[in-house]
């Protein structure tokens, strides 16, 4: 099974997934990327979005709000600040997250405003995908 | 000499105390298990975090323009001590041992002519530190309403600490907490979180990574998370330690109450016997006198 990778999704509070995967789609800070086997070792930060894992056991989708991904040859580890299966995302959770991001944006100064505004926009996109 | 009635009341009261301490011990045991599970669940995240940050910092660390969270402000004049204690008492020496360690640190820092600021988490530590360092406490975070500490709590504390760091309020931050070793032993620990301390063991990353967007940006994103992770780990260790300390304290109390009941019962029986003997003597001497 050289063409699968080990995929782990961990958040500070628990280990959400640890499976073999054919491909993993990651919402990287610089844009989405899909990791296949033998991907070049990469570390990327995440923006709020959906992680899509396709493996022998089917497709799983997770919503993440931030964190980073550690892609090494045979294993991909996602360290997410907050993560949950996409099916468990509810409008209330998203509303709470967006409200908090907006508060951060309003409190931000200088160049941080752009980053914070992007967070808000990403979260809104995530909500549209999750609560469709 | 207390009367029989007094002794009986006392025995009853110690018995109900024993019931309470026994119940508290069992509750603490159940909570301890949960806290330990939470601490275990958090471990993979913290470990990965440390590994990645360590590797990254090794390659960026010494370069010019490294993030201030890593290189520090260049001074170590103002120290912030984050003292984490529990919200509740009745847990043996748990809070005192943390406060003692913090006090000793405050003492040495002050002797070196540094400025010390305190941030307390948990009511009990604040109460103890207020006595002689009242004007040094700059903030207090209350976790009284929190049942099970979550990452959100740690992130809140971290945001507070980092905000103060960015505002230039301190140069070095250290957290104080109890590291959980076993039910009977918790080790008060001081850990520096700002500027970040990294294990020198990781000489460099074993694989050469690509960084997106860039090494510096990733590191800048990681370091605040690292602080939050440290604080989260400390909170979890503290929670487990608190329950462990409470469990053994309550176990001692229960046993002590048992001993006390035995002693009081013996005294009660002796007094009762004395009363009976007395009455008998009175009856016999009364009969003889006739």
A interface mutation test: which of B45, B67, B163, B224 has the most A CBs within 10 A?
B45
Contact B63, B152 (CB under 8 A): no
Backbone angles phi, psi at B113, to 5 degrees: 85, 20
Contact B116, B110 (CB under 8 A): yes
Domain boundary among A53, A68, A86: A86
If asked whether residues A28 and A75 sit together in one domain, one would say yes
User: Judged by CB atoms within 8 Å, which residues 63-102 of A form the interface with B?
Assistant: 67-68, 70, 72-73, 77, 79, 81-82
Between CA B177 and CA B186 the distance in angstroms is 10
B148 vs B229, more confident = B229
Q: What is the predicted pLDDT for the residue at A117?
A: 79
Contacts of A12 in chain B (CB under 8 A): 42, 45-46, 151, 154, 228-229, 232
ipTM above 0.85, yes or no: no
Q: Under CATH, what is the fold of the domain B22-249?
A: Pyruvate Kinase; Chain: A, domain 1 (3.40.1380)
Answer yes or no: is pLDDT of B186 > 80: yes
If asked whether residues A77 and A110 sit together in one domain, one would say no
Separation in Å, CA of A11 to nearest CA in chain B:
6
Q: Where in the sequence numbering do the catalytic residues of B fall?
A: 91
From B223, B218, B216, select the one nearest B194 (Cα to Cα): B223
The winner for highest mean pLDDT among B129-143, B147-161, B197-211, B250-264 is: B250-264
Contacts of A27 in chain B (CB under 8 A): none
Contacts of B38 in chain A (CB under 8 A): 13
If asked whether residues A46 and A11 sit together in one domain, one would say yes
Query: What is the gyration radius of the CA atoms in chain A, in angstroms?
Result: 15
Residues 6+ apart with CB under 8 A from B219: B53, B56, B57, B60, B66, B67, B70
| Record: contact B151-A82, CB cut-off 8 A | yes
If asked whether residues A53 and A31 sit together in one domain, one would say yes
Query: 3-state class of B183 per DSSP?
Result: coil
If asked whether residues A49 and A75 sit together in one domain, one would say yes
pLDDT mean over B244-271: 95
Q: What percent of chain B has pLDDT over 90?
A: 47
A89 vs B159, more confident = B159
If asked whether residues A57 and A97 sit together in one domain, one would say no
Query: 3-state class of B237 per DSSP?
Result: helix
Contacts of B216 in chain A (CB under 8 A): none
Answer yes or no: is pLDDT of A53 > 60: yes
β-partners of residue A46 are A28, A67
Residues 6+ apart with CB under 8 A from B8: B268
Which of the four pLDDT bands, split at 50, 70 and 90, describes residue A2? low
From B8, B24, B9, B14, select the one nearest B250 (Cα to Cα): B24
Between CA A38 and CA A23 the distance in angstroms is 11
Contact B57, B209 (CB under 8 A): no
Domain boundaries along the sequence of chain B: 22-249
| Record: contact B218-A67, CB cut-off 8 A | no
If asked whether residues A74 and A27 sit together in one domain, one would say yes
Q: For tokens 């914070």, what's the residue?
A: A116
Between CA B145 and CA B55 the distance in angstroms is 38
Between CA B184 and CA B182 the distance in angstroms is 5
If asked whether residues A56 and A102 sit together in one domain, one would say no
Nearest-by-Cβ selection for A45 from B38, B49, B218: B218
Q: What is the predicted pLDDT for the residue at B45?
A: 87
From B104, B106, B107, B86, select the one nearest B95 (Cα to Cα): B86
Mode of pairing for the β-strands spanning A75-80 and A5-10:
parallel
Query: What is the domain extent for residue A112?
Result: 89-130
Q: What is the predicted pLDDT for the residue at B254?
A: 96
If asked whether residues A56 and A76 sit together in one domain, one would say yes
| Record: contact B41-A14, CB cut-off 8 A | yes
If asked whether residues A98 and A75 sit together in one domain, one would say no
β-partners of residue B118 are B81, B137
Separation in Å, CA of A131 to nearest CA in chain B:
23
Hey, how many other C-beta atoms are within 10 angstroms of the C-beta on B191?
Answer: 16
A108 touches chain B (CB under 8 A): no
CATH number of the domain where residue A78 is located? 2.60.15.10
Contacts of B236 in chain A (CB under 8 A): none
If asked whether residues A67 and A31 sit together in one domain, one would say yes
Q: For tokens 């919402």, what's the residue?
A: A27
If asked whether residues A40 and A96 sit together in one domain, one would say no
Query: 3-state class of B53 per DSSP?
Result: helix
| Chain A residue nearest residue B205, CA to CA | A41
B48 touches chain A (CB under 8 A): yes
Hey, how many other C-beta atoms are within 10 angstroms of the C-beta on B110?
Answer: 14
A interface mutation test: which of B34, B47, B212, B217 has the most A CBs within 10 A?
B212
Separation in Å, CA of A85 to nearest CA in chain B:
18
Contacts of A29 in chain B (CB under 8 A): 212-213, 217, 221
Hey, how many other C-beta atoms are within 10 angstroms of the C-beta on B238?
Answer: 29
Hey, how many other C-beta atoms are within 10 angstroms of the C-beta on B63?
Answer: 10
* Mean pLDDT across chain A: 83
| Chain A residue nearest residue B213, CA to CA | A30
For chain A, the domain total comes to: 2
Answer yes or no: is pLDDT of B201 > 60: no
Domain boundary among A71, A86, A101: A86
Answer yes or no: is pLDDT of B64 > 70: no
Separation in Å, CA of B84 to nearest CA in chain A:
19
Between CA B272 and CA B232 the distance in angstroms is 59
| Chain B residue nearest residue A73, CA to CA | B207
Determine the length of chain B: 290
Answer yes or no: is pLDDT of B106 > 90: yes
Which of the four pLDDT bands, split at 50, 70 and 90, describes residue A131? low
Q: For tokens 């063991």, what's the residue?
A: B201
Report helix, strand and coil shares of chain B as percent, to nearest 5.
Answer: 65, 15, 25
Residues 6+ apart with CB under 8 A from B235: B84, B121, B149, B153, B154, B157, B177
B147 touches chain A (CB under 8 A): no
Which of the four pLDDT bands, split at 50, 70 and 90, describes residue A30? confident
Count interface pairs A-B at CB distance under 8 A: 75
Between CA A45 and CA A67 the distance in angstroms is 6
Separation in Å, CA of B225 to nearest CA in chain A:
8
């Amino acid at each position: 099974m050289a063409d699968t990778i080990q995929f782990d999704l961990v958040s500070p509070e628990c280990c959400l997934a640890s499976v073999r995967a054919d491909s993993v789609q990651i919402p990287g800070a610089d844009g989405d990327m899909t990791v296949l086997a033998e991907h070049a070792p990469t570390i990327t930060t995440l923006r709020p979005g959906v992680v899509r894992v396709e493996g022998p056991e089917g497709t799983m989708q997770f919503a993440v709000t931030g964190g980073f991904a550690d892609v090494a040859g045979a294993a991909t580890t996602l360290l997410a600040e907050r993560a949950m299966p996409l099916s468990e995302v509810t409008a209330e959770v998203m509303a709470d997250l967006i409200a908090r991001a907006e508060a951060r944006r309003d409190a931000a100064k200088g160049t941080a405003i752009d980053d914070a505004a992007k967070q808000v926009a990403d979260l809104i996109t995530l909500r549209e995908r999750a609560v469709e | 000499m207390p009367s029989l009635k007094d002794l009986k009341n006392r025995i009853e009261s110690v018995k109900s105390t024993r019931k309470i301490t026994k119940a508290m011990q069992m509750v603490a045991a159940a909570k301890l298990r949960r806290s330990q599970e939470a601490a275990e669940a958090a471990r993979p995240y913290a470990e990965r975090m440390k590994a990645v940050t360590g590797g990254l910092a090794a390659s960026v660390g010494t370069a010019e323009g490294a993030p201030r969270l890593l290189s520090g402000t260049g001074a170590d004049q103002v120290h912030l001590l984050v003292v984490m204690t529990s919200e509740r008492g009745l847990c043996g020496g748990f809070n005192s041992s943390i406060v003692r360690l913090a006090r000793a640190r405050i003492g040495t820092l002050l002797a070196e002519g540094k400025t010390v600021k305190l941030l307390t988490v948990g009511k009990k530590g604040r109460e103890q530190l207020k006595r002689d360092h009242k004007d040094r406490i700059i903030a207090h975070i209350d976790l009284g309403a929190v049942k099970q500490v979550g990452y959100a709590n740690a992130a809140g504390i971290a945001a507070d600490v980092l905000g103060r760091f960015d505002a230039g309020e301190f140069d070095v931050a250290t957290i104080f907490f109890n590291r959980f070793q076993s039910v009977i032993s918790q080790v008060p620990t001081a850990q520096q979180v700002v500027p970040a301390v990294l294990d020198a063991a990781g000489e460099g990353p074993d694989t050469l990574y690509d960084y997106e967007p860039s090494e510096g940006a990733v590191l800048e994103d990681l370091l605040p998370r690292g602080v939050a992770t440290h604080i989260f780990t400390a909170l979890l260790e503290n929670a487990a330690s608190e329950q462990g300390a409470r469990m053994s304290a309550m176990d001692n109390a229960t046993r002590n109450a048992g001993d006390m009941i035995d002693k009081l019962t013996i005294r009660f029986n002796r007094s009762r016997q004395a009363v009976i003997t007395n009455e008998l003597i009175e009856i016999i001497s009364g009969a003889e006198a006739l």
